[in-house]
């Protein structure tokens, strides 16, 4: 269990750049457009001037003072509401992803997760099973699902929000892929049913939010429910051949917590990796963006 803590960041790719961070904000380029958004982790000073930020910004997210969880976008005239960008890695994975501005400041993509997309793609490619079953829980707009599918997996993609699943389907089609199983459901209810049915998966991907609601109003609180979820995942992970990827974004969680959770719920944890994901801005600062724990028996 004493494996080293890793700090992982994606390789540079042409369609994405973290330009600057600081002052609780980040300035990022996605494809042809640069966005300015709040970032609670960026507690240091910006490297560039306010004039530089304003000159480069195509879209700016402003918080709603009456509801801190939501806000609205202020855009330049040529900034579209929807656009696309491409991700490609050295192993052959190539995705085309649809982006859009939402009232929660998100745009449908978390660039630091490219590290995990690469891991998923490589694991599926190297599996003995020619078509391993992969379950993606809390799957959001589906880049991880697409990575698994592109490598040849039989993918089940689950999210509680129907509109987000539709978004994922559009990403699949834009990437030239097909035949992903779409599920709109509460993640905990679904995996408990799978355990009762005796269904097994060769890969499980979990990227749970700190807080959320299922389609029936089911309450999800990360620290209250993640242990039970991993306990159930242990019942449906194929003991013969498997990988599991756990990613969490919570200011109060560390990779040591993730390690304890995994080792207390899984009998066999081979080839473990744990640590933090981060993005490096163009000025050299490192922005932490979540923790991960992943393992595989091949």
CATH number, domain at 177?
3.40.50.150
CA distances from 77 to 49, 80, 81, 98, 260 (A): 23, 8, 11, 20, 50
Q: Are 42 and 22 in contact (CB under 8 A)?
A: yes
Residue 24 in any domain: the answer is: no
Q: State how many domains the chain has.
A: 1
CA distances from 236 to 3, 135, 204, 230, 241 (A): 25, 10, 9, 10, 12
Residues across the chain = 298
Residue 63 in any domain: the answer is: no
**Collapsing DSSP states into helix, strand and coil, what is residue 11?**
coil
What is the rounded CA–CA span in Å between residue 74 and residue 94? 31
256: enclosing H helix or E strand: helix 255-265
Domain extent for 245: 109-296
Residue 211 in any domain: the answer is: yes
pLDDT value for 66: 82
Per residue in 116-160, pLDDT (tens digit) is 999 999 999 999 998 999 999 999 999 999 999 999 999 999 999
Q: Which position has the token pair 């379950």?
A: 135
Residue 12 in any domain: the answer is: no
Instruction: Place 1 in a pLDDT band, splitting at 50, 70 and 90.
Output: low
Residue 2 in any domain: the answer is: no
DSSP E strand stretches across 148-296: 154-159, 181-184, 203-206, 211-213, 219-221, 243-248, 273-280, 286-296
Structure tokens at 63: 């918080």
90 φ/ψ angles, rounded to the nearest 5 degrees? -75, -20
Q: Residue 134 contacts by C-beta under 8 Å, 6 or more apart in sequence?
A: 120, 124, 145, 148, 153, 154, 155, 156, 201, 202, 203, 204, 205
Residue 253, pLDDT > 90, answer no
Per residue in 48-97, pLDDT (tens digit) is 999 999 999 999 999 888 887 789 999 999 999 999 999 999 999 999 99
What is the DSSP-derived secondary structure letter of residue 87? E
């Amino acid at each position: 269990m004493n494996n080293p803590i890793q700090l992982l960041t994606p390789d540079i790719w042409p369609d994405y750049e973290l330009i600057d961070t600081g002052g609780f904000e980040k300035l990022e380029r996605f494809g042809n457009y640069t966005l300015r958004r709040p970032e609670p982790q960026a507690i240091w000073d910006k490297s560039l001037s306010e004039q530089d930020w304003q000159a480069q910004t195509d879209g700016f997210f402003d918080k709603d003072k009456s509801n801190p969880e939501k806000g609205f976008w202020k855009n330049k005239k040529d900034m579209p509401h929807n656009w696309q960008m491409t991700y490609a890695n050295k192993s052959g994975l190539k995705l085309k992803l649809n982006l859009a501005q939402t009232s929660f400041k998100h745009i449908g993509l978390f660039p630091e997760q490219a590290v995990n997309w690469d891991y998923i793609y490589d694991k599926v490619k190297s599996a003995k099973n020619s078509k391993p079953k992969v379950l993606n829980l809390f799957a959001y707009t589906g880049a991880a699902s697409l990575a698994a599918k592109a490598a040849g997996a039989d993918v089940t993609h689950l999210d509680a929000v129907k509109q987000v699943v539709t978004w994922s389907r559009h990403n699949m089609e834009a990437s030239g892929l097909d035949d992903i199983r779409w599920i709109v459901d509460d993640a905990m209810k679904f995996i408990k049913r799978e355990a009762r049915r005796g269904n097994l998966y060769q890969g499980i991907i979990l990227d749970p939010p700190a807080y959320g609601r299922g389609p029936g109003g089911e309450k999800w609180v990360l620290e209250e429910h993640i242990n039970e979820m991993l306990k159930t995942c242990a019942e449906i992970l194929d003991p013969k051949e498997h990988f599991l990827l756990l990613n969490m974004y919570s200011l109060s969680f560390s990779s040591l917590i993730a390690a304890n959770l995994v080792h207390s719920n899984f009998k066999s944890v081979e080839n473990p990796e744990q640590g933090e994901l981060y993005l490096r801005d163009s000025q050299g600062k490192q922005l932490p963006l979540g923790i991960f724990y992943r393992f595989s028996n091949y």
